[in-house]
């Protein structure tokens, strides 16, 4: 039996236990594609921004090593939070939940999976099960955002805003603030196409920053209104 057949045999998702934590995988090709685009955007900026801006300006004494290390730390935190949010169990309800007697009146029957669930839980059609306090299914992390991984999703939004803002600041400073480079590596492809490389980086940074900032704001407003 191949991997694909095995995953579908288990269902649309599978959960493993690792170091006492539940790891959640969703079998959704559309979600894999969306998450792949995010990883490609992250990889693009992580490779080209240091190569075109940080390292050349550091070698010529225009910036300190702190700026370089901060960018890599932001990039590491961003991809780390993305992977954690995508594989964390959002709060999937077990097939035979143990319902305390004192809480039975707060549980209801799901008309899609015919399972008992607590109120404020929702059924995700992509994952094929109910999730406690489900906020939404996010294709960009290929996972639901629920009770157990909501804080990881907010963490991802926060680090993504920082990395996108840092990238845009570096793109701006490269042309309008830093001293001109000596262009010793002008024969290298990325330097011969420097303008196009940085325009793509700035475009992705603006799109991601705008979308994530709006999402982060709505998430925070939702949390504050529930308190």
Rounded to two decimals, the pTM is 0.80
Enumerate the active-site residues. Answer: 138
Name the residue with tokens 């793509």. 200
Name the residue with tokens 């701006």. 172
Higher pLDDT, 110 or 225: 110
Distance of CA 59 to the CA centre of its chain: 32
Model confidence pLDDT, tens digit, residues 111-165:
888 788 888 888 888 888 889 888 889 899 989 998 888 899 999 999 999 999 9
């Amino acid at each position: 039996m191949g991997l694909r057949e095995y995953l579908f045999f288990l269902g649309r998702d599978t959960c493993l236990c690792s170091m006492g934590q539940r790891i959640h995988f969703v079998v959704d090709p559309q979600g894999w594609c969306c998450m792949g685009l995010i990883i490609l955007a992250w990889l693009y900026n992580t490779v080209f921004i240091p190569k075109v801006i940080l390292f050349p300006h550091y070698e010529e004494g225009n910036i300190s090593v702190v700026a370089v290390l901060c960018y890599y730390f932001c990039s590491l935190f961003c991809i780390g939070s993305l992977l954690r949010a995508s594989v964390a169990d959002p709060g999937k309800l077990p097939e035979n939940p143990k319902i305390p007697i004192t809480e039975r009146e707060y549980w209801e029957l799901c008309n899609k999976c015919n399972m008992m669930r607590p109120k404020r839980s929702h059924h995700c059609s992509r994952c094929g099960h109910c999730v406690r306090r489900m906020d939404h299914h996010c294709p960009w992390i290929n996972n639901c955002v629920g009770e157990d991984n909501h804080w990881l999703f907010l963490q991802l939004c926060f680090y993504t805003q920082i990395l996108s803002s840092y990238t845009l600041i570096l793109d701006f400073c490269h042309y309008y603030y830093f001293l001109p480079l000596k262009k010793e590596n002008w024969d290298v492809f990325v330097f011969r196409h420097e303008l196009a490389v940085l325009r793509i980086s700035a475009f992705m940074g603006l799109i991601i920053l705008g979308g994530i900032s709006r999402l982060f704001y709505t998430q925070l407003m939702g949390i504050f209104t529930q308190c």
